């Protein structure tokens, strides 16, 4: 039997694509509400960290991944880059 991928175990599997990826030109208020709902799904997800890591690996620019929206991923990406640079310097 083939083990399930992290995507197969994700809590978002039945939530619908549009909850995690809003329409182009989405207004700020609706986007914040939609992302809050998506994060609630992510909060209890057993593969949240795998999802976030995948978003960083593929440099995902849009949507909610691993409970993080676009701006949160940008900040986390910067944090990871700084942490990697510190490790390289050590």
User: Per-residue pLDDT tens for 5-16?
Assistant: 889 999 999 888
Contact by Cβ (8 Å): 75, 52: no
Q: What is the pLDDT of residues 19-42, one digit of tens each?
A: 999 999 999 999 999 999 999 999
Backbone angles phi, psi at 19, to 5 degrees: -70, -35
Q: Which of 48, 84, 82, 83 lies closest to 68, judged by CA?
A: 48
Q: Which of 53, 21, 25 lies closest to 37, judged by CA?
A: 21
Q: What is the pLDDT of residues 32-74, one digit of tens each?
A: 999 999 999 999 999 999 999 999 999 999 999 999 999 999 9
Token duo for residue 43: 């909060």
**How far is C-alpha 84 from the chain's CA centre?**
20
């Amino acid at each position: 039997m083939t083990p399930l991928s992290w995507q197969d175990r994700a809590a978002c599997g039945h939530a619908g694509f549009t909850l995690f990826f809003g329409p182009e030109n989405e207004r700020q208020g609706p986007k914040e509400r939609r992302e809050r709902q998506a994060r609630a799904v992510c909060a209890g997800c057993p593969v949240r960290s795998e999802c976030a890591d995948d978003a960083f690996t593929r440099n995902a620019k849009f949507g909610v991944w691993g409970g993080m929206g676009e701006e949160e991923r940008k900040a986390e990406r910067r944090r990871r880059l700084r942490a990697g640079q510190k490790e390289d310097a050590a």
